[in-house]
A and B are shown apart, each in its own frame.
Chain A
């Protein structure tokens, strides 16, 4: 530990350490956050959901997009795994099927950043996975 000798030092340190607890702060009010839920049941994992999840976490962080990436159990769309549900603030959830890295990149660039829908949406007949 080196000494903090000025207010500027303190502010710099705060910025550095803030990212370490940002995830905790963000999860306090998930409704105002972009939420990405990756289906990670057995079928999902077998079809590469872990890689998809990792990609989301890393890519969103790289692009400095504040989002909550979580995993959920089986969404019941095993034929389309890996499946990913994206909830933009104040919008209805959208579920994408067959999300590999390329698809994930497209979801981030087009749906998350611009709010435009893309191919591969699974028609949603339920509300959210948690219910």
Chain B
């Protein structure tokens, strides 16, 4: 038999690999050869399927069966039951959380229904360590088309017409950036791929590099052809070992095929790609800081202009694009700008990958058309809020973004709508919060992050954020005053206006957006000394209601600090000076006698 009749795709993304997906592959291989099926059934490791929360994932084709939370010990059943007898292994099927029914095929899982995969098209579909599989999926066809049938100007026009905007956060039109870099005269130019991905919680760039590294390589060569560069540099954080390894393998294979190197496809065009490692500082994702870091200097931003397009790496014109931006390029060339620009909204074309996280049922990586509403993402794809709680807010754009409320749930997601709503697209982090989250604490949490990541070069960011953080801490500890709220606002505006780089300019966003949308929570903290969500420990009090307390001693026995006193069958009492507000007694009490105020 020449071709396999069945393919078993096992997720080899970072998430699933951590849960032994390689061992699952070994076990499957072993059982298949034991039953003489290894010539009929192919087993391969792919990139991330996006449904990491339910990983490791195993997908069986052609019947499209989707197994979740698979363990190496499940391999035997998959082979014996599914492959030999044709019966899906029920206990491994995904259960729809809404009705507990098993869902057999991937296409029927709500998580995938509204998704359109362009940037992630090959993730979870091909073996990223085999260039042939990429080529089989039209890989390098776009490069071939550009080099042999199109002039650089024509390629740039196609990208401009597609309406593609940068996915790294700023949303700058990609075609225009390429044109600007092309028009700067210089004998040496560079293409840089920004794979720093510093936004905590975002992992789309990592997943693309792990699941489909060739798409980024292909796009970088095309970019080099357009702007007139012969060298590409990928700036990737050293904390992404698997992505680095896959990228290295991919570069090696492309070189062996002659798709990287001299005289590509006999056209005389030459291009090489090298890796540069970052130490994982958030500010190094900012393009000027990134370039300095690559030059061996301190990773600090410098004033723009000059933009990297004019004077970047080693002072040469440098085109910096994000991983996901690049991943869209080959598809635009293959399918045409007019295919791409029909997807999305008027000013934001195509799709965007989001990393869904927080208090949501389906945590994972999704790709949806621009213009999808937050409600669709959170409720249809994300499966709604965990444990049936109430939605409170969704934070988009990471530490530079803002917290949006219920009233924005039906806003179509695109660059401009999010900015107008007081947040931003950022790199696509999306963190959902429920009724138990205190918005003041959330703002403080983000400030803590920017505070640590600020490079310290300019005063508003270095000192201003520290003051913001102090004020927020004061409020969450119950020492805030109404004047503090005004201070927060004024200081935020000043930091925004006077910081040098995007980090400082956007760091007060979480504060401003929570001030705008959740003023009542701030006021409850400073005026009433209360934390409505019950999160700020200094502001909550656990008390035992003597009427309800049966004296069962359960709380007494569980309190870690001995703050509870009382005799058996006599109402108990909490000594507030000892209580550390851990909430254990509240959870343990079977008679609802302990209240939280």
Contacts and interface: CB of A to CB of B under 8 A. Distances in A.
Interface of A: 1, 3-7, 9-11, 13-14, 17-24, 26-28, 30, 38-42, 44-45, 53-54, 57-58, 61, 68-73, 130
Contact of B137 (A5, A21, A54, A61): A21
A61 B3 CA distance: 9
The contact size tier of chain B is 35 or more
5 contacts: A3-B256, A14-B136, A18-B136, A20-B3, A30-B62
Nearest to A23: B62
Contact of B64 (A9, A19, A27): A27
Given A5-B266, A71-B86, A72-B86, A20 B133 contact: yes
Nearest to A19: B3
Given A1-B256, A5-B266, A14-B135, A23 B141 contact: no
A58 B87 CA distance: 22
B2 A61 contact: yes
A38 B132 contact: no
A45 B85 contact: yes
Contacts of A58: 1
A70 B62 contact: yes
Contacts of B7: 23-24
Given A5-B258, A27-B61, A27-B64, A10 B141 contact: yes
Given A24-B125, A27-B63, A57 B86 contact: no
Interface centre among B2, B4, B85, B256 (most CB of A within 10 A): B85
Contacts of A72: 86-87
A9 B144 CA distance: 10
B84 interface: yes
A57 to B, nearest CB: 5
Interface in B55-100: 61-64, 84-87
B5 interface: yes
A23 B126 CA distance: 12
A68 B138 contact: no
B136 A1 contact: no
B253 interface: yes
Contacts of B9: 24
B62 A41 contact: no
A38 B63 contact: no
A6 B87 contact: no
Contacts of A53: 5
Interface string B364-404: 00000000000000000000000000000000000000000
A28 B62 CA distance: 8
Query: A-side binding surface: helix, strand, loop or mixed?
Result: helix
B265 interface: yes
B85 A40 contact: yes
B148 A7 contact: yes
B303 to A, nearest CB: 44
B2 A21 contact: no
Given A24-B9, A27-B61, 12 more contacts: A4-B259, A6-B265, A7-B147, A9-B265, A13-B135, A19-B3, A20-B132, A21-B125, A23-B5, A40-B84, A41-B86, A70-B62
Given A38-B86, A57-B1, A61-B2, A7 B136 contact: no
Nearest to A20: B136
Interface in B125-146: 125-126, 132-133, 135-141, 144
B264 to A, nearest CB: 9
A14 B61 contact: no
Contacts of B4: 23
Interface string B203-240: 00000000000000000000000000000000000000
Contact of A13 (B1, B87, B132, B256): B132
Interface centre among B5, B6, B137 (most CB of A within 10 A): B5
Interface string B1-22: 1111111010000000000000
Interface centre among B61, B62, B132, B138 (most CB of A within 10 A): B62
A61 B62 CA distance: 15
B257 A4 contact: yes
Contact of A30 (B64, B148, B257): B64
A58 B132 CA distance: 23
A17 B136 contact: yes
A1 B257 contact: yes
Given A27-B64, A38-B86, A5 B265 contact: yes
A12 to B, nearest CB: 10
B270 interface: no
B268 to A, nearest CB: 12
Contacts of A28: 64
B104 interface: yes
Contacts of A13: 132, 135
Contacts of B133: 17, 20-21
A80 B87 CA distance: 19
